[in-house]
Each structure stands twice: as C-alpha cells, then as structure tokens.
Amino acid sequence: MGVKAVIQFQRAGGTHLVLVDKPYKGIFPERDGFPAEYAATLELAEKVRDTDIQVAVIVGPHPACLTTMMKRGSSLEEAKEVMISGIEAASKLVQEGKASGIGEVGLPHYPVDEDVTRASWDILEYALQAGKELDCAIVLHTASEPGLSVEIAELCRKVGIPLDKVVKHFSGPWILPEENHGLFPSVLASRDNVNEAVTKGSRFMMETDYIDDPRRPGAVLGPKTVPKQTIRLLEAGIDAELLHKVHVDHPAAIYGLEYD
C-alpha cells in the first residue's frame, strides 16, 4: 500500500509516525551494503512527508540479517562485519539529521547456535555504544523471554546509554520497572494491551508494527489502529494528559518529533 497506508492513518486521526527500516526484497547487505536498504526507507519517508504527516526515521541492521547472510554463504565473521558496517552507516545518517535513531537492532527471536548468540550480543553492544555517542534512540528487536530485559538493561548500564532512549519494540503492557527493567516500552496497540497499560501509568508509547506486506494485509495491526484506540480510550474517560504523554511527550523526547 505504501503511502496509501499513511493516508488511512491520517484519516483516522494520526499526525506523527515512526518509520522503521526493515530488510527489502532484492537488496542484499553483503552485496549492496546497508546504505542501499536505508536509501529505500529514506525515499519512502519523503513521500510520507508530502502528506503532511511528521515522520521519524529509524535505520539499522535487523538482527535476523546476520543468519540470513549466513544462509546465503557468508561466514559468521563476514556477516558480523557487515552488520557492524550497517550500524556505522546508520550512525552517519543520524549525524546528518536524516534519521532519528538506530534500529531495529537486537537479538534473533528464534533458536540459533551459541556463537551466533555471542555475535548478536556484540553487535547489539556496538549499536548501544553508537546510540550513547549520538544521544539517539535505539529500537530493540528481541524475543520476550523472562530475564532478557534484565540482561539488556544491564548491558545498557555498562555502555552508559540512558534507558529512556532504548525502546523495546513489540512490547506487551509491561510498563512497570519490575516488568521492563528500565527499557522504554513501545506497546503493541491491541485493545487488551492498551487497556492494561493505561491502568499502570503513562511511561509507554503505542505501535502497530504494521509491515505493509501484501501477503498479510493489516499485519501485525493495521495503520488506523493507534488513532482509533486512542479515541476509544478518550471516549472511555482515560485522562487526556496521560495520552498526551504517550503520544507527544515521549515521542518528542525519544525520537525528536515536533508538535504544534
């Protein structure tokens, strides 16, 4: 759907969104380099801005790219080097003001060998270090295993990056410190998730993880979901100040989005 999905978002009441880079069919990082992938995302962002929607762009080497490159014949060390180069290219775009952060980065959410796990942690640490130096957002893609947030939060503290800049993408309604251990939750905006999240506080954002795949229309959630859920919550009596923090204060602080 491309920009047509953004029009749906806008007509439902949306004004600002975060466009997150993902692997593109036909672009191979080990052959083309990650900048080719990022260029496609930046081009889409410019088309989005033509609709008067404000957009923050997040670019980075998706953690699954490591094993994907290995399946195509790269060694682990070769693939790891390409992933590191992808973080460096993303960092350059942040420095140039073309991107607002680095992501999705993190850990495979499927079983991998121990050496791949170690390499993935090394790549994540490199990304966190870049985020610290740039003072920019880091968007995490990880499994939701118990204890994993603790390990990642410990790594963030070791690196020295503020936890408020480290966003746990595809989060459940885990917005309390004992649930997310300081990582900033971007809650998948299903009705049940947001209903629970607003009972706990305001330290979260909302996302659809909309992937615009014609084979899976509307997956994960459709582009109208966040504005529709927000209007529903307001009509149900949820404090507008709480939702202002979710949709204005936090995205402004984390992604640099500007609001009238």
Domain boundaries, the chain: 3-255
Can you give the pLDDT of all 260 residues of the chain as single tens digits?
Answer: 999 999 999 999 999 999 999 999 999 999 999 999 999 999 999 999 999 999 999 999 999 999 999 999 999 999 999 999 999 999 999 999 999 999 999 999 899 999 999 999 999 999 999 999 999 999 999 988 878 999 999 999 999 999 999 999 999 999 999 999 999 999 999 999 999 999 999 999 999 999 999 899 999 999 999 999 999 999 999 999 999 999 999 999 999 999 98
Q: Give the Cα-Cα-Cα angle 228, 257, 95 (nearest 5 degrees).
A: 140
Q: DSSP letters of 140-182?
A: EE----TTHHHHHHHHHHHHT--GGGEEEEEE-S--SHHHHTT
User: 3-255, what's its fold?
Assistant: TIM Barrel (3.20.20)
> CA separation (Å) from 56 to 45, 88, 102, 199?
8, 19, 11, 28
> Are the C-beta atoms of 130 and 165 separated by less than 8 Å?
no
